Amino acid sequence: MMEGVCHVIMAGGSGTRFWPVSRAGRPKQFLALVGGLPLIRQAHDRAAAMSGAASVYVAAGLAHKHMVLEALPGFDASRFIGEPFGRNTAPCIGLAALELRRSVPDGVMVVAPADHVYTNPGDLVRAIHSAVAAARAGEALVTLGIRPSRPDTGFGYIEMAEPAAGARTEGARRACRFVEKPDAATAKSYVASGRFLWNSGIFIWRIDAILAALEAFAPDVWKGLARIDAALGGPDADRVVREAFQDMPSVSIDYAVMEKAPDVLVVPADPGWSDVGSWDAVAELNDTDAAGNGVVAPDGEVLQLNASQCFVYSTTGRLISLVGVSDLVVVDSGDALLVCHKGDSQSVRSVVDALKARGRGDLT
């Protein structure tokens, strides 16, 4: 167990990539896409295994509070950090840091997305321990960087500096640049160089260090946070948080702080990370049978005849039969069905757009 460490699971995302199962009211992190439990539950349990359940906080939209409590049996609602509006990660992390400071002013805070999957969680734990040690040693803002397995153009990259003689902590390297999603040629050169890591969205820092950095580098955000800090614990806290969020810019912690702060470290890791970005990714992360077919249908039944390389995800009790087909993703929800060619699952967003255009927003 790590003492003096708090975890903040960021569960504020919404998204349309997992239609028809994910909806505005039930985003991805609440789905058991991989591993048999909601992704948020897996994120919570990973954190609890490192530092104890009492150290784990969850930040999410207030509208999703009931879903968080439903997904996390035994979770103490007092550790729910409610975002009145989605304002990206910087305001969310700032609010969480203020809340945590009230309990553990000298603590270290680990921030992790609720909707990522790790096929090699042992290395995740190793890297977080390493990052916590680096964060404790000073004012550094630490992030995990995933060693890239391919020149993916869908992620941000972090360039790390050559290890200096006398680097402060085993495993941590100075981060010299954060870059947005690159084009294909750039991504290829990044991977070839060996100096670039994928931006994992996992951050580790002392609570006071991130608050100081927000004050220094994100004055618009800090202005709202200062109002909130003055009200927290008082009778007007909810109203003040709402008003402050209303006024704060929607900005990521990467843009607001990480790209600007001088003392940023990155711990390279090989945790088998996936941001589970599409149904194709879900298909790849789940086990398959000898014919390459995968099934996630806890209440349903799937019957395949001469089918191969197909993935079925069902939240219904219906029977699904695949005959003579290959390379399909079939997703069955209560009121809508998706049949998608593998490799085309990025187009699911377009289905959602088309439904809205048709006046069928009730299905999105």
Q: Which residues bind a second copy (CB under 8 A)?
A: 20, 301, 303, 305-306, 317-325, 328, 330, 332, 335-341, 343-345, 347-348, 350-351, 354-355, 358, 360, 363
Structure tokens at 137: 């040693």
Q: Are 313 and 279 in contact (CB under 8 A)?
A: yes
Shortest distance in whole angstroms from residue 85 CB to a second copy: 30
Cβ proximity to a second copy: between 286 and 346 the closer is 346
Measured CA to CA, the distance from residue 211 to residue 102 in angstroms comes to 13
Phi–psi pair at 163, nearest 5 degrees: -65, 125
Cβ closest to a second copy, residue 254 vs residue 332: 332
Alpha carbons 73 and 65: distance in angstroms, whole number: 13
CB of 312 to a second copy, least distance (A): 9
Q: How far apart are CA 157 and CA 275, in angstroms?
A: 14
Taking the complex as a whole, the smallest distance from the CB of residue 203 to a second copy amounts, in Å, to 35
CA 329 to CA 282: how far, in whole Å?
A: 10
- Smaller CB separation from a second copy, 96 or 282: 282
Q: How far is CA 136 from CA 131, 166, 169, 229, in A?
A: 8, 17, 10, 23
Q: Which residue, 252 or 346, is less far from a second copy as judged by CB? A: 346
CB of 67 to a second copy, least distance (A): 23
CB of residue 330 to a second copy, shortest distance in Å? 6
Residue 327 identity (one-letter amino acid): D
The span from the CA of 303 to the CA of 316, in Å, is 15
Name the residue nearer to a second copy (CB basis): 62 or 351.
351
